[in-house]
């Protein structure tokens, strides 16, 4: 049984894997009909490879001038930002709402990041826990205010999540009297 033209064409192009390529080679060597088909396919392939690439620009210009003559296109191409776009009303409303929601979310995000969060909790043992989340630029003023309020026994300062700290060693605990007193700011 002889292979069809598509299989022979794939074989000429090297698209048939082993062991089928060897079987096709043996068959073409013994079948004069397939050898004649193969020679015709190879001549077509050679003529296509040797032919120069056609110039498509004149044909495109004829189509464009035909469209201009019918009023379906303009002589000069209009820039993209000046072209009129027609959208169905529900799609335009949905796009406007989406833009407004994204702008609102961005505004809330900017406003929230500019304000710090302060939470003061009185504990049953008489102590006060102050949790503060603020930007790094406000950290110095926070430390000053915490340093002035010496009545609390414990201060917890939460840095923003985007701050990366380098941990060196283990934290040490000690008595305040063991540390030299710094000058207030």
What pLDDT, in 10s, does the model give residues 94-129? 999 999 999 999 988 776 655 555 555 666 665 555
Q: Report the helix count and the strand count for the chain, using DSSP H and E.
A: 6, 3
Please tell me the distance from the alpha carbon of residue 108 to that of residue 34, in angstroms, as a whole number. Answer: 75
Q: Are 45 and 55 in contact (CB under 8 A)?
A: no
Please tell me the distance from the alpha carbon of residue 71 to that of residue 65, in angstroms, as a whole number. Answer: 10
What pLDDT, in 10s, does the model give residues 4-34? 888 888 888 888 888 888 888 888 889 999 8
The model carries a pTM of: 0.31
pLDDT at 153: 47
Which of residues 174 and 38 earns the better pLDDT score?
Answer: 38
The dihedral region occupied by 71, where left means phi > 0, alpha psi between -120 and 50, and beta the remainder, is left
């Amino acid at each position: 049984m002889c292979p069809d033209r598509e299989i022979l064409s794939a074989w000429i192009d090297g698209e048939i894997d082993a062991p089928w390529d060897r079987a096709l080679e043996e068959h073409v060597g013994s079948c004069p009909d397939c050898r004649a088909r193969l020679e015709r396919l190879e001549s077509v392939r050679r003529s296509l490879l040797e032919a120069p690439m056609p110039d498509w620009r004149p044909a495109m210009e004829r189509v464009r001038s035909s469209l201009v003559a019918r009023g379906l296109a303009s002589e000069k191409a209009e820039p993209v930002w000046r072209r009129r776009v027609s959208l169905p009303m529900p799609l335009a409303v949905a796009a406007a709402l989406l833009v407004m929601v994204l702008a609102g979310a961005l505004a809330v995000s900017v406003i929230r990041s500019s304000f710090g969060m302060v939470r003061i909790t009185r504990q049953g043992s008489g102590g006060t826990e102050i949790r503060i989340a603020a930007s790094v630029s406000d950290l110095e003023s926070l430390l000053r205010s915490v340093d002035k309020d010496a009545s609390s026994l414990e201060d917890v300062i939460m840095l923003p999540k985007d701050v990366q700290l380098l941990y060196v060693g283990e934290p040490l605990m000690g008595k305040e009297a063991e540390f030299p007193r710094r000058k207030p700011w």
